[in-house]
Amino acid sequence: HPHPHPHPHPHPHPTGCVVGQLDFLPRDGFQLHCSTMRATSRGTLTLQSPDPHQAPVIDPNYLSTQDDIEDLRNGVRLAVEILEQDALAEFRGKRLSPDPALDLSDDEVLDAWVRETTHSAYHPCSTCAMGSVVDSAGAVKGVSNLRVVDASIMPSVVSGNLNAPTIMLAEKCADAIRGLPPLEAQESPYWVHPDWETQQR
């Protein structure tokens, strides 16, 4: 089924090989990570105690929906297809991951590999979603003089990194707190593939 936004998101790494987030392998190379742009799995953030100094209980509940598994499965296949293009042959050595012996055509085998190797990209958000926990200016519902102004108030996951949207969100909330009117809306042109609904893979 076509998505109205990119699925998945490729992350090229042209300068080295990394396992997880920070463990670089002692060799040159290049790799292509992929992630879901709009994961459908939902985690929870709950308190384990009334003591505010005790850490909360965070359960990201990764890969709990079939859509997320399918998106990553398709992303792995597309990443391997891209990296095995003839144009990269002179730069490419033996594939490190997934193991060349892994049968990428077998959904169950590939799904198991995805579950074993997927890791977080450390972009959590939406635990105090606007509309359910806070209003449009970050004020916590039912509590006086308390605001939350960070990525946790995003009503849904954005299609990309959280940095720029969080800055924008904070600037808009800061203006609301100061009683400043919002900036005028602007329409910025952007390119849309004329056959985006049928050209996604």
* Position 156, amino acid: S
> Alpha-carbon distance 6 to 37, whole Å?
7
46: phi > 0 → left, psi -120 to 50 → alpha, else beta; which? beta
> Alpha-carbon distance 29 to 47, whole Å?
43
Q: Residue 136 in contact with residue 130, Cβ under 8 Å?
A: yes
> Alpha-carbon distance 166 to 49, whole Å?
29
Q: Give Cβ neighbours of residue 31 (< 8 Å, ≥ 6 apart).
A: 12, 13, 17, 18, 83, 96, 97
Catalytic residue flag (residue 123): yes
Q: Which of 3, 5, 123, 193 is catalytic?
A: 123
Residues tagged active-site: 123
